[in-house]
Structure 1
Amino acid sequence: MNLQVQLVEEENSVQHFKIIGEIDVYTAPKLKEHLAAVEKAVGMQAELDLSEVAYMDSTGLGVFVGFYKAVHATGGHVKITGLNARLQRLFNITGLGSIMDIVTEEGEDKDATV
């Protein structure tokens, strides 16, 4: 399946991305390339909407961890939204759910102090 990464809008210095498709060993490099191309200005704010991602493996998690670290290193913030139950479980069993700012599909805020 193809993967689409769209910069939906930028408002109040927050860049909103919509990610559509499956994130696996084949599509993760494309996701990484799109996220790496985003200017990582000091204090950058990014929101990644995964509401149309049905599947993700550990390769995809690695891409999000790398992006999170790069943005966090410059004093920025990454929020991940729209996780379905399967993706939420993946983030939780790896411990990333307690580190990253995650808002589930149901709207439950899993904001963590970082």
Structure 2
Amino acid sequence: MNLTITSNTENALRLVAVHGEVDVSNAGELRAGVDAALDAKPGKLEVDLSDVAYIDSTGIGVLVGASHRADDAGIGFEVTNPQPNVRRVLGLLGLEKELKISE
């Protein structure tokens, strides 16, 4: 499956926009993109999922790991704009607060 990740920095905010479906075949790409953003040590990292129609458990694990890594480094972390089906899955797993999901 095709996955595109773009990253922009504005002031202390690093925005990582994810486009496509995230599954076991490309979760490493998501991990690399998020890790690179965290390595830049922004004040806050937002992962925009507005163009992600599907994410499997591997991709969700990447987001949870990134959230923990951000917390350990004192970096704000937030998942933004998940599509309804993605948000539902994250909600069913009880991850809305941990990932600080917002519209």
TM-score, normalised with respect to structure 2: 0.90
Equivalents in 1 of 2:4, 2:22: separation in Å? 10
Identity %, equivalent residues? 32
How many pairs does the alignment contain?
Answer: 102
- In structure 1, what is the equivalent of residue 5 of structure 2? 5
Report the AA paired with residue 6 of structure 1.
Answer: T
2:92 paired with 1:99: no
RMSD: 1.4
Structure 2: stretches of 5+ with no match in the other structure: none
What CA deviation, in whole Å up to 9, does each residue of 1:12-35 have, x standing for no partner? Answer: 210011100000010101111121
- Give 3-state SS (helix, strand or coil) of 1:98's partner: coil
Q: What's the CA shift for 1:37?
A: 2.1
Bigger RCO (CA 8 Å, 6+ sep): 2
- In structure 2, what is the equivalent of residue 110 of structure 1? none
What CA deviation, in whole Å up to 9, does each residue of 1:26-52 have, x standing for no partner? Answer: 0101111121222153x6311111100
- In structure 1, what is the equivalent of residue 61 of structure 2? 62
Structure 1: stretches of 5+ with no match in the other structure: 105-114
Hey, which of these two has a bigger chunk of helix by percent? 2
Structure number with greater Rg is: 1
Q: What's the CA shift for 1:101?
A: 1.3
Equivalents in 2 of 1:84, 1:16: separation in Å? 17
Structure 1 segment 30-109 matched on structure 2, within 5 A:
30-38=29-37, 39=39, 41=41, 44-104=43-103
Hey, which of these two has a bigger chunk of strand by percent? 1
